[in-house]
Amino acid sequence: MIKIIGTTHLVKSKVIEDIIKKEKPDMIGVELCKTRFDIFTKPLEQLKQNESLVGKISNALNKKSQEENLDYGSDMKSAMFYAINNKIPLLLLDKDINEITNSLQAIPESEKVCLQEELLKFESMPLQKDVDEEKVLLEMKKRIPVTYHILVESRDNYITDKIREFELCYKNKRILIFLGKAHVKSILKKLSERRENKDIDRSYIG
């Protein structure tokens, strides 16, 4: 059985831990890749991407969250460390961040300019806890379609394939999956199109 929890990336650790304790999963899946897993679990590991587009966005998010006394990415980190500390098998679902970074090098110059402009706006505004994800995604798809494909569509396809793979491998296991809210609707649709049993339990927090 699979249950998907759609989160914001600012959900506090206790909320995530309480959900896991309530659900009692056999396995936990998170929206992380092996590279990001290593960064979180091995402090000396660093991504050489500070000057890349992904690096700049990541740095801006981390700086903003620290200024507002928030922990961006707390949902995935909390689920990951809970799994490690409690010896629950952890499933890494997302495409590798290095592959994403490399793909973004080839986006059109007009989209790079657009992203730089949005980054400047972001740096002058507080983090928004309540965001209309569908509206943001539609605007993104319209204004920066290549970037949207790399950051959203290709990752949704990858995560869907991973979930399906783990579902087939662990048919009798209860798998609890944490995904950013923006990905959930698309992934649920893709999963429903590819499976006989179209019922996947899901809920949203944050």
What average pLDDT does the segment 1-30 reach?
93
Query: Would you state the structure tokens that stand for residue 174, as one six-digit string?
Result: 């209860």
Check if the beta carbon of residue 177 is closer than 8 Å to that of residue 4.
Answer: yes
Check if the beta carbon of residue 36 is closer than 8 Å to that of residue 93.
Answer: no
Rounded to whole angstroms, how far apart are CA atoms 176 and 202? Answer: 9
Q: What is the pLDDT of residues 100-141, one digit of tens each?
A: 989 998 999 999 999 888 877 776 666 655 667 788 889 999
Paired sense of beta strands 175-180 and 27-30, if any: parallel
What value, to the nearest 5°, has the Cα angle with vertex 96 and ends 77 and 31? 35
What pLDDT does residue 55 have?
62
What average pLDDT does the segment 10-37 reach?
94
The dihedral sign for the CA sequence 74, 187, 48, 144: negative
* Helix, coil or strand: residue 179: strand
Rounded to whole angstroms, how far apart are CA atoms 19 and 80? Answer: 13
Instruction: Indicate the pLDDT class of residue 42, thresholds 50, 70 and 90.
Output: confident
Q: What is the pLDDT of residues 135-160, one digit of tens each?
A: 888 999 999 999 999 999 999 999 99
What average pLDDT does the segment 162-169 reach?
92
Would the pLDDT of 62 be above 70? Answer: no
What pLDDT does residue 199 have?
55
The pTM for the full model equals: 0.83
Would the pLDDT of 72 be above 80? Answer: no
DSSP secondary structure string for all residues of 110-178:
HHHHHHHHHHHHHHTSPPPSS--HHHHHHHHHHH-HHHHIIIIIHHHHHHHHHHHHHHHHTTTS-EEEE
